[in-house]
Amino acid sequence: MSLPFPSLSAAEAAELIQNGQTIGFSGFTPAGAAKAIPAALAEKAKREHTAGREFKVGVLTGASTGKSLDGALAEAEAISFRTPYQSNATLRKQINAGQVRFVDMHLSVLPQNARYGFLGPIHWAVVEACDITPGGGIVLSTSVGASNTYLRLADRILIELNARHPSSLLGIHDIFEPLDPPARQEIPVYSASDRIGSPICVVDAKKIVGIVRTDLADETGAFDEATPVTDRIGQNVAEFLAAEMKAGRIPPQFLPLQSGVGNIANAVLGALGRSTEIPPFQMYTEVLQDSVVPLLENGRCTFASTTALTLSPEAMAKVAGDIEYYKKRIVLRPQEISNHPEIVRRIGIVSMNTAIEVDLGGNVNSTHVMGKTMMNGIGGSGDFTRNAYLSIFSCPSTAKDGKISAIVPLASHQDHSEHCVQIVVTEHGVADLRGKDPHERAKIIIEQCAHPDYREQLRDYLRLTKAGHAPLSLSLGLAMHRAFVRNGDMRGINWEEYR
Amino acid sequence: MSLPFPSLSAAEAAELIQNGQTIGFSGFTPAGAAKAIPAALAEKAKREHTAGREFKVGVLTGASTGKSLDGALAEAEAISFRTPYQSNATLRKQINAGQVRFVDMHLSVLPQNARYGFLGPIHWAVVEACDITPGGGIVLSTSVGASNTYLRLADRILIELNARHPSSLLGIHDIFEPLDPPARQEIPVYSASDRIGSPICVVDAKKIVGIVRTDLADETGAFDEATPVTDRIGQNVAEFLAAEMKAGRIPPQFLPLQSGVGNIANAVLGALGRSTEIPPFQMYTEVLQDSVVPLLENGRCTFASTTALTLSPEAMAKVAGDIEYYKKRIVLRPQEISNHPEIVRRIGIVSMNTAIEVDLGGNVNSTHVMGKTMMNGIGGSGDFTRNAYLSIFSCPSTAKDGKISAIVPLASHQDHSEHCVQIVVTEHGVADLRGKDPHERAKIIIEQCAHPDYREQLRDYLRLTKAGHAPLSLSLGLAMHRAFVRNGDMRGINWEEYR
C-alpha cells in the first residue's frame, strides 16, 4: 500500500528540525526509541557547530533511550534540556557538569505536565512505529512511553517506520489517554490484564511531514549478571512475601508485582518464579526484561502489563516468533497508565525498587551519588512506591568493594520519604518498618540490613545522636559521605573528627 | 426511643478498656473527637499508675484531637503508641523524649493500613456520634476521619452520644469504604460535590457495648491571627493562580482547592475569596476552618468536601442554625476518600500546604524542627501534594524573629521531595520550579523567596558548592541549622567554620 506521506532519509528529516525546538521522542528504555532521526540530528548538530552556529534542542522521551538518541545527541552536544529520565554515560557527565539542564520527574506525571503546558510547546514528535495507515493510524513498536501524548500535542510528526519490528505487534498496545481536569473520569483498569483503549494511535494525518524507513534493532544492552549478593536479595524478598501471605497480610490470590530494572530485579523475579509458596502472579510494571519471558512461558507469570518490552534480540525473537501467545499475556500501555497512582493503589501493587542508599530513618536515595551526582533519575519508583499496597526497596548492603555503605545515617539525597518506604532488603536480611517509630526503624535497619563491617559504627552514630523523635545529628548525619570523599572509604570513621 | 445498648458513665466505659489494648478514636482535629471516655481513661490510668500497675494504650485517631483525648491521655502517661498525627504540646514533648512511640503517616493510607493488618489488632472503637439507631446505625458528628474503619474493624465499640451536636447533621456525611485489592473498584467521585455512600455508619449492633451520653463542645482552639506576612503570602498565592488561569495553564472553570490548616491557609483563602479574577471555586480538602463559612455564605466557595468541620463555637452555631443550607454545600467524607490519591489526581486539585522549611533543591520539611523535633506530622500534605494538578507550599521566609530562615541549603528532614514540589511562596514572592533544573531552582528560590537578610549567605553557599547536578555541599548543607543550635541565629554564618 502506498502511503500519502513523504518518504524521507533520516538526514532529510533531521534537516527539518531547528535549533531551539523541543522534540518528544519515542523510547522508554532503548525499547521503541527513535534511532535513525536522532542519530542524523546529531550529525546535523555537529555540522552546525563546525560552521559556528548554535544548535541544541530540548529532548523529551518516555524514559531512558539508546545510544543513537541520548548517546549520539549528547556526544554532539546537541541537548539543551532533558526530561524525565536518562541512563547514558556521556549525557550523565554533561548533566553533572551543568552543561545540560535535566529535570528529574515522576514518569507518570510527564504526559499530563506536557498537556498542562508546564513544559512549554512541543514542536516535534519523532516516533518509531512498526506500521502506519494512510489515515494517520500509527502502530507503535516495542514501547509506548509518552509517544501517544507527543503525537497528539506536537505541531509536526516524523515517523521512523522500522521493518525490524513485525507489524503483527498490532494488538499488543492499549492506547488510552485520560481527559484533563475537570473532565477526567476514572481510568477503568481493574486488573493487570484489562484493555481499555485502542491498539493504535490515531493522529491528524496532516501533521505527519515524513516517514523514515529503517531496519534497526532496539539498542538494548546486557544487564549485569546475577551475583551471590543479588541472588540472596531475591531470595530474601521471595521469602518475605511468602511469609506475608501466610500471615494473611497479602491475600491468597497474591497481588500484582511491579519490579524495577536491573540485575536485582531479575534476581527477585527469578526467586519469585521458583518459589513453591507463591501462586502464579500478574505483573503491573513499567519495564519487562528478559527474566519475565520464561515466567510467561511456564505460567508462573500469568499476565504482564508494561509500557516497554526491553528484551535482548534473542528474547525479542522468541516473543515475535510466537506473537499471538504473547499478545494474550502482555499489554503495552502509555506510561501515564502503566504507572498511574489510581491503578497502582486500586489493584494493590507490591512495588519492588532499587535504592542507591537507605538511611536510618527509612528514607531512600534513588538518584544521586554522594548527594550531588545524578545517576539516572527517579523513574517510576515514586509512582509505584507512593501508592503501593506494600513498598519494598532493595540494594546490596555495600558498593565499591565495601568502601561505600548503602545504609547511612542520613541519605545524601531523598527521593522516597520514611512515609512511603515500608520494607528494606539487602543480602543480609529484611527490615520491616511498618508501624515502627524512627528509633526502632534505625535499629532494625542496622541489625537486619547493614553490612557487618558497618554495624558497629552505625550503632555508635545512634549512641551519639541525642534524644529527639528522629535520630539525627546535624553534624554527623552526612559524615560517612564526607569520609568517603576524603579517604575513599566509609569504614572505620572517626565520628569525633566530624562533630 | 429507647436504645438496646447499655447506658454507661464515662468512667464505667473506661473501666472496660485494658492495659495494652489498641483503641481507634474518632477525631480529625478536635472536631468530632471522643472526649468523655478518653478523659475518664486518663483518670483510670492515673489510678492504675498510683497503684503501681502498668497502664498504657495504643491510640489511633483520624488526625490530631482535643485536650480531653491527646492532652489528658498524655498527661496521664497513658499512651504507648500513637499514629497518624498529633498536635498536643504534652504529647509532642513525650514523643520527642522517646516516651511515646509515634508513627507519622500519610492520612489517606491509615485506614487501609489498619485493614491490611499492618497496625495489629484494634480492640476498641471509641467514637462520637450525634445520633444512633437501635439497629446499629451511627450518625457521626463533626468529623469522619477514620471512624468508619475503626467501627468496622474493632472488636468492640463505645459510643459517645453527644447532645451538643444536632441530630440534623444526618445527611452531611458520605460514608464510603473501598474494598481491598484485588476486589477494589474505582472511587466514583468526579466532582467535589459527588455523594457516593451512606449518610450513616452501619455496624454490627452486638459489638456496641455501651453508650456514654455527653454534651461537650468540640475543643477547637483559636488559630493565630492573620499578620501582614500571612496576608502577603495569601495575596501572592491568589495573584499567582490568577496569572496561571490567564496563561491558560489552569482551565477557565478553575480547579478545586485543597488548603492546609492555620493562619496562612486562612490568609490564602481570604485572598482567593476577595479576588475578582478567580471565579467561584470548589474545595476538596481535609479540614474546613472558619474562613470558609463566609465564602460558602456569599457563594465564592460553591461546595466544600472535607473530613472535618473544625469550626469555632460561633461558626459552628451559624452552620447548625442553617443546617439545610450548609448540607447542600458541605460533605464530610472518610479521610481515606477526602485525601484519596485517585480523586486528587482525577479532579485536578490545586494543593496549598505549609512548610517548616524549603531547601534550595525544592525539597520540603513539613514535620521536624532542626531535623530532630517532631512538630505535628505530615498529615494530608503528602496525599494532596503528590497527586495535585499544581502543588504549592508556602511559609513565612523566617521564624523566631528572623533568627531562623525557612529557606535553607538542605532541609533537615524531607517529607516532600523535589519531584512533587512545584511552587514555593513566601511573603517575598513566588518561586515557580516547574521545568527548572536544580541549579535554576536554587537561584529562583533564593531570589524570590528567601528573606533579604539571608540572600547573600545563600548565594555564598551556592558559590561554595562545587559542580554537580544538585548544588549540595556535604559539609555545609546543614551548617545553617548547626549555627542556629550553636549561636541561636542562622544569620551571618561563617561558612568556613563548617567546611
pLDDT of residue A2: 80
Instruction: Tell me how many degrees the CA angle B165-B149-B6 measures, rounded to the nearest 5.
Output: 55
CB contact under 8 A, B474 and A468: no
Query: Is-contact A395 A361, C-beta < 8 A?
Result: no
Query: Count of A–B CB contacts within 8 Å?
Result: 221
Report CA A195 to chain centroid distance, whole Å: 22
Contacts with A188 from chain B: Cβ below 8 Å: 186
Residue-wise burial string across B32-49, b where 16 or more C-beta atoms lie within 10 A, e elsewhere: bbbbbbbbbbbbbbbebe
Distance from the first to the final alpha carbon of chain A: 74
CA A486 to CA A168: how far, in whole Å?
Answer: 56
Interface test with A, best of B437, B465, B487, B493 (most A CBs within 10 A): B437
- CA dihedral B121→B123→B129→B135, nearest 10 degrees, is 100
The alpha carbon of residue B488 is apart from the nearest alpha carbon of chain A, in Å, by: 15
ipTM exceeds 0.85: yes
Interface test with B, best of A345, A373, A383, A476 (most B CBs within 10 A): A345
Contacts with A374 from chain B: Cβ below 8 Å: 469-470
Comparing alpha-carbon positions, the chain A residue that sits nearest to B434 is A118
CB contact under 8 A, A181 and B346: yes
pLDDT of residue B261: 87
The total of other beta-carbon atoms located within 10 Å of residue B274's CB is 13
CB contact under 8 A, A468 and B185: no
The alpha carbon of residue A336 is apart from the nearest alpha carbon of chain B, in Å, by: 12
Phi and psi angles of residue A192, each rounded to the nearest 5 degrees, phi first: -55, -30
Contacts with A98 from chain B: Cβ below 8 Å: 439, 467, 469
Per-residue cell: B314: 460561633
Contacts with A120 from chain B: Cβ below 8 Å: 435
CA A227 to CA A231: how far, in whole Å?
Answer: 6
Contacts with A348 from chain B: Cβ below 8 Å: 180-182, 184
CB contact under 8 A, B97 and A467: yes
Query: Is-contact B404 A83, C-beta < 8 A?
Result: no
pLDDT of residue A332: 98
For the domain spanning A10-214, the CATH number is 3.40.1080.10
Q: What is the DSSP letter of A402?
A: G
Comparing alpha-carbon positions, the chain B residue that sits nearest to A381 is B419
pLDDT of residue A328: 98
Query: Is-contact B415 B367, C-beta < 8 A?
Result: yes
CA A196 to CA A177: how far, in whole Å?
Answer: 10
pLDDT of residue B499: 86
CB contact under 8 A, A477 and B247: no
CB contact under 8 A, B186 and A188: yes
CB contact under 8 A, A472 and B372: yes
pLDDT tens digit at each of 499 positions of chain A: 588 999 999 999 999 999 999 999 999 999 999 999 999 999 999 999 999 999 999 999 999 999 999 999 999 999 999 999 999 999 999 999 999 999 999 999 999 999 999 999 999 999 999 999 999 999 999 999 999 999 999 999 999 999 999 999 999 999 999 999 999 999 999 999 999 999 999 999 999 999 999 999 999 987 778 899 999 999 999 999 999 999 999 999 999 999 988 889 899 999 999 999 999 999 999 999 999 999 999 999 999 999 999 999 999 999 999 999 999 999 999 999 999 999 999 999 999 999 999 999 999 999 999 999 999 999 999 999 999 999 999 999 999 999 999 999 999 999 999 999 999 999 999 999 999 999 999 999 999 999 999 999 999 999 999 778 999 999 999 999 999 999 999 999 999 999 8
Contacts with A372 from chain B: Cβ below 8 Å: 465-466, 468-470, 472
Task: Give one DSSP letter per residue of A140-193, joined into a string.
Answer: E-SB-BTHHHHHHH-SEEEEEEETTS-GGGTTSB-B--PPPTTS-------STT
Contacts with B336 from chain A: Cβ below 8 Å: none
CA B42 to CA B30: how far, in whole Å?
Answer: 17
The alpha carbon of residue A43 is apart from the nearest alpha carbon of chain B, in Å, by: 27
The alpha carbon of residue A496 is apart from the nearest alpha carbon of chain B, in Å, by: 14
CA B412 to CA A465: how far, in whole Å?
Answer: 14
Residue B166 CB contacts under 8 Å (≥ 6 apart), including other chains: B130, B320, B323
CB contact under 8 A, B414 and A416: no
CB contact under 8 A, A371 and B474: yes
Contacts with B466 from chain A: Cβ below 8 Å: 372
Contacts with A190 from chain B: Cβ below 8 Å: 184-186
CB contact under 8 A, A363 and B414: yes
Comparing alpha-carbon positions, the chain A residue that sits nearest to B348 is A181
pLDDT of residue A226: 87
Rg for chain A (alpha carbons), in Å?
Answer: 23
The alpha carbon of residue B482 is apart from the nearest alpha carbon of chain A, in Å, by: 6
Instruction: Give the tens place of pLDDT for each residue, B68-121.
Output: 999 999 999 999 999 999 999 999 999 999 999 999 999 999 999 999 999 999
The alpha carbon of residue A120 is apart from the nearest alpha carbon of chain B, in Å, by: 9
CB contact under 8 A, B415 and A417: yes
Domains B10-214 and B228-288+349-497 share a fold: yes
Q: Which of B160, B177, B286, B357 is catalytic?
A: B286
Q: Could you give the C-alpha distances from A454 to A71, A374, A481, in angstroms and in order? A: 38, 25, 13
pLDDT of residue B464: 94
CB contact under 8 A, A440 and B117: no
pLDDT of residue B423: 98
Tell me if residue A286 is catalytic: yes
Q: Which of A81, A182, A414 sits opposite B251 (nearest CB)?
A: A182
CA A114 to CA A216: how far, in whole Å?
Answer: 29
Query: Is-contact B56 B86, C-beta < 8 A?
Result: no
Residue A186 burial class via C-beta count within 10 angstroms: exposed 0-12, middle 13-18, buried 19 and up: buried
Comparing alpha-carbon positions, the chain A residue that sits nearest to B109 is A387
Contacts with A181 from chain B: Cβ below 8 Å: 251, 255, 346-348, 389
Quote the percentage of chain B above a pLDDT of 90.
96
CB contact under 8 A, B419 and A104: yes
Query: Is-contact B386 B418, C-beta < 8 A?
Result: no
CB contact under 8 A, B180 and A97: no
Q: Which of A101, A467, A482 sits opposite B474 (nearest CB)?
A: A482
The total of other beta-carbon atoms located within 10 Å of residue B466's CB is 8
Q: Where are the domains of chain A?
A: 10-214, 228-288+349-497
pLDDT of residue A1: 59
Distance from the first to the final alpha carbon of chain B: 74
Which ranges constitute the DSSP H helices of A247-289? 263-274
The alpha carbon of residue A104 is apart from the nearest alpha carbon of chain B, in Å, by: 7
Query: Is-contact B28 B144, C-beta < 8 A?
Result: yes
CA A51 to CA A35: how far, in whole Å?
Answer: 25
pLDDT of residue A258: 97
User: For residue B1, what pLDDT band results from cuts at 50, 70 and 90?
Assistant: low
Interface test with A, best of B186, B255, B417, B443 (most A CBs within 10 A): B417
Q: What is the DSSP letter of A385?
A: H
Mention the CATH class of domain A228-288+349-497. Answer: alpha beta
Residue B306: strand, helix, or coil: strand
CB contact under 8 A, B348 and A469: no
The alpha carbon of residue B365 is apart from the nearest alpha carbon of chain A, in Å, by: 11
CA A66 to CA B442: how far, in whole Å?
Answer: 31
Instruction: Give the tens place of pLDDT for each residue, B437-472.
Output: 999 999 999 999 999 999 999 999 999 997 789 999
What is the mean predicted confidence (pLDDT) over B314-322?
A: 95
User: Residue type for A303, please?
Assistant: F
